[in-house]
Amino acid sequence: MSAESSDSIPSAETPRPLKGKRALISGASRGIGRGIALEMAQAGASVTINYHSNPDEAASVVKECEAMGVEAFAIGADISDPDEVQALVAGASDHMGGLDIVVSNAAYSDRHLMLESDMEEFRRTIDVSMWGAFHLVRSGAQQMVDAGNGGNIVVISSPHAHMPMPGAMAYNMAKAANDQMARTAAVELASQRIRVNLIHPGWIDTPGERKFFQEETLRSEGAKLPWGRLGHIREIGRGAVFLCDPKSEYITGSTLTIDGGIQLPWREMYRVEEARRETAAT
């Protein structure tokens, strides 16, 4: 069974741990956000699909979610604009009659060495990936606190939070901030029964990767990873469902890593092979 084989419409026997929950996912018209929306719909949640510049793709995700027997809506908003974020949260709550789950997924990134940075792109990365995440978490939390029913917030961060990847300084900075923001929010919101957790995806097969890499590079380099492939968007979605499942209520302030082992010291396996060769030669 492939990692993407759960796209089918749920049957009566399919577990639906999020049935009755209402979820807002930012940046959900494509990529990881789409995978999260589809998995949450399959788990029974109503979903609001936020998009910025892809309304047709957002409409397609809405149809896919509706086919799973849940309500789904699309709302356009620029996550870097705090006023638009507030309107997004209010609109999602109005459409669904409340808000139980907020997933901060929308991000922006460009690749430049520090000394060659296009500062407009640098600022855009910070505005979307750091400030946008903060404004969504804050607005979503305010909505949940006012409702008084608790809730779940999931922040899609990245191994870039602690791995200083060259050519991605702004993104590295933003994701490091995301991690501390989410953990601080988890402390501050625990008394309100709002859980806040992080997901660190590894190298995931998304349209965004095509901004930086050719198909052949994605295939060849993905095959070199410990698990032998890039990750799939719905694998991240299943992680988000797990964190928001009521059975996971004792998990808050935690980081779920879904990376196929990319952060393991797999490049050091040459040491084992070298030692084997030297032993065999003696």
The pLDDT of residue 264 is above 70: yes
Q: Look at residue 275 and tell me if it is in a domain.
A: yes
Q: What's the CA angle centered on 100, arms 94 and 105, to 5 degrees? A: 95
Q: Look at residue 2 and tell me if it is in a domain.
A: no
Distances (CA, A) of 116 to 17, 120, 160, 174, 242: 48, 12, 20, 18, 41
Query: What is the reported pLDDT for 8?
Result: 60
Query: What is the reported pLDDT for 11?
Result: 65
Query: What is the reported pLDDT for 5?
Result: 43
Give me the chain's average pLDDT, please: 93
Asked whether the beta carbons of 238 and 180 are under 8 A apart, the reply is no
Instruction: Give the residue numbers spanning the domain of 116.
Output: 22-281
If DSSP codes are grouped into helix, strand and coil, which group holds residue 173?
helix
The arithmetic mean of pLDDT across residues 258-272, rounded, is: 87
Query: What is the reported pLDDT for 1?
Result: 36
- Rounded to 5 degrees, φ, ψ at 78 are -90, 110
- Per-residue model confidence as pLDDT tens digits over 77-117: 999 999 999 999 999 999 999 999 999 999 999 889 999 99
The arithmetic mean of pLDDT across residues 265-280, rounded, is: 79
- Per-residue model confidence as pLDDT tens digits over 51-68: 999 999 999 999 999 999
For position 109, which CATH number holds? 3.40.50.720
- Per-residue model confidence as pLDDT tens digits over 207-216: 877 888 888 8
- Annotated active-site residue 108? The verdict is no
Which of 51, 108, 171, 250 does the annotation list as catalytic? 171
- Please indicate whether residue 7 or residue 61 has the higher confidence score (pLDDT): 61
Q: Look at residue 37 and tell me if it is in a domain.
A: yes
Q: What total number of domains does the chain contain?
A: 1
Q: Look at residue 46 and tell me if it is in a domain.
A: yes
Q: Look at residue 198 and tell me if it is in a domain.
A: yes
Q: Look at residue 67 and tell me if it is in a domain.
A: yes
Query: What is the reported pLDDT for 7?
Result: 56
N-to-C CA span, the chain: 45
Query: What is the reported pLDDT for 255?
Result: 98
pTM for this model (two decimals): 0.91
- Rounded to 5 degrees, φ, ψ at 124 are -60, -40
Q: Look at residue 9 and tell me if it is in a domain.
A: no
- Per-residue model confidence as pLDDT tens digits over 26-57: 999 999 999 999 999 999 999 999 999 999 99
Q: Look at residue 26 and tell me if it is in a domain.
A: yes
Q: pLDDT over 70 for what percent of the chain?
A: 96
